[in-house]
A and B are shown apart, each in its own frame.
Chain A
Amino acid sequence: MTKTVMEASHAISEAVKMIKPDVVPAYPITPQTHIVERISDFVADGDLKTEYMRVESEFAAISACLGASATGVRVYTSTSAQGLALMFEILFIVSGMRLPVGMTVVNRAMSAPISIWNDHQDSISCRDTGWIQMYAETAQECYDLTLMQYKISENKNVLLPSMVCLDGFTLSHVYEPFDVPSQGRVDDFLPRYSPYHAILDPEQPLTLGAIGFPSHYMELRYSQIEAMENSIDIIEKTFNEFSDKFPVQVERSRPERYFHTEEYLMDDAEIVLVAMGSVCGTIKSAVDKLREKGERVGLLKLITYRPFPRDAIKNALKDVKKVAVLEKAVSPGANGPVFDEISSLLYEGDKRPEIRSFIIGLGGRDVRLDHIERIYEMTKEGKGKKQEWMF
């Protein structure tokens, strides 16, 4: 193992080098560019043997991923915002065909107005495409989740594509210390891809992408939903195996043991803030400060967002009095998407904590410690509207 300091984008590139994808269709978009640039350096120097395709758009990138994955090889691509939106149509087709494609989404706001800065509106609006989604807080998590996403996606009881999401600039361009294990240990954790599904092969002709009439469409969709449900358990097992094989090397760079959620100072917490991504670092600092003042507050960080880890969240919030959901996404005409999903979960429980929605950090708006402290105060005192925008 080697402790290193790199920007989170390059932590992803490093992980991609070590998982050895056979095909990498790449197309640049800010703030994802550093990832594909670094991978192209690896290829140029012979450090990574892969078919690196300089495609003409994100639409072509995801389509090439589809074709290559259907031919039975490991595939990687990455994108952001408008690029992800351009892929939208094919995201459904990749998951519907049960192809274990791996992708990194460097989260960026959606246009208009055009913005290159961070929020989660891009990947959240793809939550229903049938892709597994995991959100990283740190460079170490970026690296680790990239290794794990393939182990999860390629599992024969899952066979679904996955996205690892990280915040543009606020994480992607930030230098952090993290640990890179040896190639041998990575290979041991993630062996070469051997497709479980039949693939495009003249020796065994197969029809992929057939038309599903009303007599069959629902059954096929149902089997896909079952696979997504299966993935909850597979993700947990993968997180456990990873945590066993790769103990923490850099303090506070990741959870001690990976789980769908990370609970930070939640043991006796009466008020819990829920969030995803790099803002959790800021929230942890705010929680530390509030704890010093004797406030019983904690953070519930969601790592897995699809599949939605219902049991983990329900269990974590079962004895909490008040919940504040902080999210970098909106659903115009409705509530914050993560807020709505957590609300509906809590409705199923016996004790229903008060729950509040806070919209934060859209289009790269800085989320500061005092924002978090204000959110905590408002939640504690029951002040403000049901949904507050933290401008």
Chain B
Amino acid sequence: MAIAGLPEEEYLSCGHRACAGCGAATAIRLITKAAGKNSILVESTGCIEVISTPYPETAWKLPWIHGAFENPSSIASGISAALKAKGIEDEINVVAFGGDGSTYDIGLGHISGAFERGDNFTYICYDNEAYMNTGIQRSGATPYGASTTTSPAGRESIGKVEWKKDIIHILAAHKSPYLASASIGYPTDAFKKIRKAIETKGPTFVNLFATCPTGWRSDPAKSIELAKLAVETGVVPLYEIINGKHVVGMPRDISKLKPVEEYLKVQGRYRHLFRPEKKEMEINFIQERVKENLALLLEYAETGH
């Protein structure tokens, strides 16, 4: 990943077993580049531990620990406490990360506990919007209308019928000093946000949107483009909440958004919205809600919230 301004060091070695076009693997490379050498990484159960640690091999060049699905935040809290006991908490970054199943669903209570206590670590969710490791099942992060193996589209179903959980604002209610939404489609922006999160003392969070071509049934060659398109259509707005104040990066102009249809139609998980006949009502619903969400974020930013 030769991107100007990003460190050249790689901490996830090549030869790991991720699928072609895996957005999570790209996410991990960004996270580790931002974290740097003096870091301890904590990971939830998921694709990443499977693809990177087939015993006795490992792809990790940083200290890395995996406990269970729901507890990377609690393990990170324990590590952070141990570093404090050793008097070296300012020398080492503790970075926990998990997929959206771990973060939005099964592990949310533990993240809440750690954030309430003000434990000193950064949590990053690589958000690919379903339980991908177990075979593309619906999570609290799966978007409205997406077909998964437990929310399949069918004659009487349009896929998932609930909107995606707003994790960043749940954590904003915990008064975290730094929260951000990022996408692997904008690696420099993502890198800077992760860096900022790590440099900010206390519990901080980045939701890092990461394509899963296997689960989204999208072209593996276009993972980065798709992660960009999610931003350009406003489906995934990029913003920060710094000490309670919203800062919206992009997009900033609702009238110039690309239509969500462009984003939906290139993914197999939304195929049923276009075939056998186009479901205009559903697509319009998604379009309007995307605009509303972005309008709300921009309003927060303008009014100093």
Contact = CB atoms under 8 A, between A and B. Distances in A.
Given A51-B81, A54-B117, A57-B110, 20 more contacts: A25-B78, A56-B109, A59-B70, A63-B68, A64-B78, A67-B67, A70-B79, A71-B86, A73-B86, A75-B78, A75-B82, A205-B63, A206-B63, A208-B63, A208-B64, A208-B65, A208-B66, A211-B50, A213-B54, A213-B55
- Interface-centre pick from A64, A69, A213, A216 (highest chain B CB count, 10 A): A64
Chain A residues touching B, majority SS: mixed
Contact of A53 (B55, B64, B75, B81): B81
Interface in B1-57: 37-40, 42-43, 49-50, 53-56
A72 B81 CA distance: 11
Interface string B54-94: 11101011111111101100111111111111100000100
B276 to A, nearest CB: 42
Contact of B49 (A73, A200, A210): A210
B74 A59 contact: yes
Interface in A176-222: 200-202, 204-213, 216, 220
Given A201-B63, A210-B58, A59 B82 contact: no
Given A67-B78, A70-B79, A90 B67 contact: yes
B116 interface: yes
A56 B75 contact: no
A212 B55 contact: yes
Contacts of B53: 207, 209-211
B290 to A, nearest CB: 34
B113 interface: yes
B82 A23 contact: yes
B113 A60 contact: yes
Given A54-B117, A209-B65, A211-B55, A60 B71 contact: yes
B267 interface: no
Contacts of B83: 71
Contact of B54 (A64, A66, A211): A211
Contact of B65 (A65, A90, A200): A200
B112 interface: yes
A24 to B, nearest CB: 9
8 contacts: A57-B113, A60-B113, A67-B78, A68-B82, A75-B78, A202-B37, A209-B65, A210-B66
A158 B84 CA distance: 27
B82 A22 contact: yes
A282 interface: no
A67 B82 contact: yes
A207 B66 CA distance: 8
Interface in A28-70: 50-51, 53-57, 59-60, 63-70
B82 A73 contact: yes
Interface in B81-132: 81-86, 92, 109-110, 112-114, 116-117
- Interface-centre pick from B38, B65, B82, B110 (highest chain A CB count, 10 A): B82
A2 B268 CA distance: 74
Contacts of A206: 63-64
Contacts of B43: 209
Given A56-B110, A73-B86, A67 B77 contact: yes
A93 interface: yes
Interface of A: 22-23, 25, 50-51, 53-57, 59-60, 63-73, 75, 89-90, 93, 200-202, 204-213, 216, 220
A97 B78 CA distance: 15
Closest 10 CB pairs of A and B: A67-B78, A56-B113, A64-B78, A63-B74, A209-B66, A71-B82, A67-B75, A210-B53, A63-B71, A22-B85
A207 B114 CA distance: 24
Nearest to A199: B63
Nearest to B65: A208
A67 B56 contact: no
Given A67-B75, A67-B79, A202-B63, A210 B85 contact: no
B39 A64 contact: no
Contacts of A202: 37-40, 62-63, 92
Given A207-B60, A207-B64, A71 B113 contact: no
- Interface-centre pick from B61, B62, B112, B116 (highest chain A CB count, 10 A): B62
A193 to B, nearest CB: 11
A94 to B, nearest CB: 9
Contacts of B40: 71, 200, 202
- Interface-centre pick from A23, A54, A93 (highest chain B CB count, 10 A): A23
B45 to A, nearest CB: 9
A204 to B, nearest CB: 8
A59 B39 CA distance: 25
Contacts of B66: 208-210
Nearest to B91: A202
Contacts of B92: 202
A209 B49 contact: yes
B84 to A, nearest CB: 6
B92 to A, nearest CB: 6
A205 B64 contact: yes
- Interface-centre pick from B40, B64, B77, B78 (highest chain A CB count, 10 A): B78
- Interface-centre pick from B50, B74, B76, B83 (highest chain A CB count, 10 A): B74
A93 B78 contact: no
A333 to B, nearest CB: 29
Given A200-B65, A201-B63, A209-B67, A67 B74 contact: yes
A18 B184 CA distance: 50
Nearest to A27: B113
B114 to A, nearest CB: 8
- Interface-centre pick from B39, B70, B71 (highest chain A CB count, 10 A): B71
B109 A66 contact: no
Contacts of B113: 55-57, 60
A54 B74 CA distance: 11
Contacts of B109: 56-57
Contact of B81 (A68, A205, A209, A220): A68
